[in-house]
């Protein structure tokens, strides 16, 4: 068997059908999905719970207004795809730190499984 060419494809975000067909996913706006995918580009396996993407940076990178980005974050939290781990500090110029509920978290004593809070959305 030959070697896989997967390395040339780069990283990717798996989107299981159970997630795509869920009421939680289908309730999301396009802006919320764009923010969720942008946060995934910052995930590297050991930083879940410390993901940052400021409203200003998201607005600039994704071509949205800051109010739209704010609504998108709220949608993601309410639908269970995102959890706020640490509030940012406007005056200290620190963005919020987020956790993707679809990914595991690295803890001092090992990994904690993904919580998949979106499965409880009603």
Topology of domain 15-120 in CATH is Arc Repressor Mutant, subunit A (1.10.10)
pLDDT for position 5: 57
pLDDT digits (tens, 9 = 90+) for 21-72: 999 999 999 999 999 999 999 999 889 999 999 999 999 999 999 999 999 9
Q: What's the CA gap between 96 and 7, in Å, rounded?
A: 32
pLDDT for position 6: 58
- Is the overall model pTM greater than 0.85, yes or no? yes
Q: What's the CA gap between 41 and 64, in Å, rounded?
A: 18
- The full length of the chain comes to 122
Q: Which of 18, 92, 80 is nearest to 54 (CA)?
A: 92
């Amino acid at each position: 068997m030959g070697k896989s060419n997967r390395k040339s494809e780069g990283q990717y975000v798996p989107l299981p059908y159970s997630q795509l067909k869920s009421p939680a996913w289908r309730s999301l706006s396009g802006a919320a999905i764009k923010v969720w995918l942008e946060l995934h580009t910052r995930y590297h396996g050991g930083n879940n719970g410390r993901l940052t993407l400021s409203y200003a940076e998201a607005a600039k990178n994704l071509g949205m207004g800051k109010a739209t980005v704010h609504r998108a974050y709220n949608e993601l939290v309410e639908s269970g795809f995102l959890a706020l781990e640490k509030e940012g500090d406007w005056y200290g110029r620190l963005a919020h730190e987020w956790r993707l509920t679809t990914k595991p978290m690295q803890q001092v004593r090992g990994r904690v499984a993904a919580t998949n809070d979106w499965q409880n959305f009603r």
